[in-house]
Amino acid sequence: MIILKGAPVSQKIQADILQELAGWNLRKIKFPHLSVILVGEDPASSIYVTRKEDMCKKLGFSSEIIRVSTGISQRELQNIIIDLNKNSSVDGILVQLPLPVSISAREVLETIDPLKDVDCLTEKNLGKILTGHPLVQPCTPSGVMEMLKHYNISVQGKNVAIIGRSLIVGVPLIHLLLKENASVSVFHSKSEKIESQLKNFDIVCVAVGKSHAFKYSQFKHDAVVIDVGINRSSKGLTGDVLNDMTEGKNHIKAATPVPGGVGVMTIAMLMKNTLALAKLRRNAYENLES
Ligand code: GUN
């Protein structure tokens, strides 16, 4: 079984970004700036946003984490976003999810200017995925696609299953896979008889957010298993698929590990998106100037 690690793919993306920024440096163009809003002190979310900030530093982007308490009202949160939308120094805005239940995540995300929506979670940017001409792509699904490409796993004509239909992963991933000519099936919590169908798929992307909900032996012999889950349990970080190196080793062809698989890619793709939106804004500015 081949282990599809995220680190080499992430490093390649980081190298590409650094190469592009070297050109920006020569032309004295201001490097990208990412603003991240963190509501509350959820330990997992705090770790994620710190990793995003660390990666920004590593690449030379400027960044800020705006930390607000869970008592913040939706209107106050939206006002912070409106100020960031107006701030010409800010290229990307990310609201770390989940938000407290008292706040409508959809309404908050819709406040973000689509041209600064580095997560690709506004309706406008999600809609652009359907037309095949997105400004940016959602970080985790595009990280999955980047990994498949890096490891030369072609999806064209393949039977690909997505298990999970979240707006952050499953739903956009359908479209990114379709664009690459995969034959896509989606399973979710209401799907019947999933077990009996799993062996039909060459590639399975699991994003259900439940530790060890599946095991390798349930998939087709020689399947590629992409585990998008990052679950915190007493065993540490675990995927949605049991990392079964005894039984699974001879059964499937390749799998992403957790940790060290798709999770690593999400941050790399966020950086790529921040650079892409910064570039768009710089180009628009240059066009106005000329
Ligand atoms: N929380 C967990 N994953 C994500 C993500 O990709 N984007 C945001 N904004 N919040 C998250």
Which distant-in-sequence residues (6+ apart) come within 8 Å of 117 by Cβ?
Answer: 92, 93, 109, 124, 125, 135, 136, 277
Give the model's confidence band at 260: pLDDT under 50 very low, under 70 low, under 90 confident, else very high.
very high
Summarised one tens digit per residue, pLDDT across range 130-144 is 998 899 999 999 999
The three-state secondary structure class of 37 is strand
Q: Residue 246's pLDDT is what?
A: 77
In the chain, where does the domain assigned CATH 3.40.50.10860 lie?
30-113
State residue 106 phi and psi, 5-degree precision.
-60, -50
In the chain, where does the domain assigned CATH 3.40.50.720 lie?
139-263
Q: 126 exposed, middle or buried (CB, 10 Å; 0-12, 13-18, 19+)?
A: buried
Give the model's confidence band at 287: pLDDT under 50 very low, under 70 low, under 90 confident, else very high.
low
Summarised one tens digit per residue, pLDDT across range 59-75 is 999 999 999 999 999 99
For the domain 139-263, what is the CATH superfamily, name and number? NAD(P)-binding Rossmann-like Domain (3.40.50.720)
Q: How far apart are CA 157 and CA 90, in angstroms?
A: 41
Which fold does the domain 30-113 belong to in CATH?
A: Rossmann fold (3.40.50)
Q: What is the pTM of this model?
A: 0.95
Residue 15: both structure tokens together: 């190298």
Do the beta carbons of residue 95 and residue 48 sit within 8 Å? no
Task: Write the residue with the smallest CA distance to atom 2 of ligand 1.
Answer: 97
Q: Residue 234's pLDDT is what?
A: 83
Is 145's C-beta closer than 6 angstroms to any atom of ligand 1?
no
Do the beta carbons of residue 169 and residue 228 sit within 8 Å? yes
Instruction: Please identify, by atom number, the ligand 1 atom nearest to the C-alpha of residue 95.
Output: 9
Q: How far apart are CA 63 and CA 47, in angstroms?
A: 15
Is 119's C-beta closer than 6 angstroms to any atom of ligand 1?
yes
Using most ligand atoms within 8 A of CB, pick from 97, 126, 231 the residue to mutate for ligand 1: 97
Instruction: Please identify, by atom number, the ligand 1 atom nearest to the C-alpha of residue 140.
Output: 6
CA–centroid distance, residue 106 to ligand 1 (Å): 13
Using most ligand atoms within 8 A of CB, pick from 37, 125, 144, 168 the residue to mutate for ligand 1: 168
Task: Write the residue with the smallest CA distance to atom 11 of ligand 1.
Answer: 97
Q: Which residues are catalytic?
A: 52, 96, 119
Give the model's confidence band at 247: pLDDT under 50 very low, under 70 low, under 90 confident, else very high.
confident
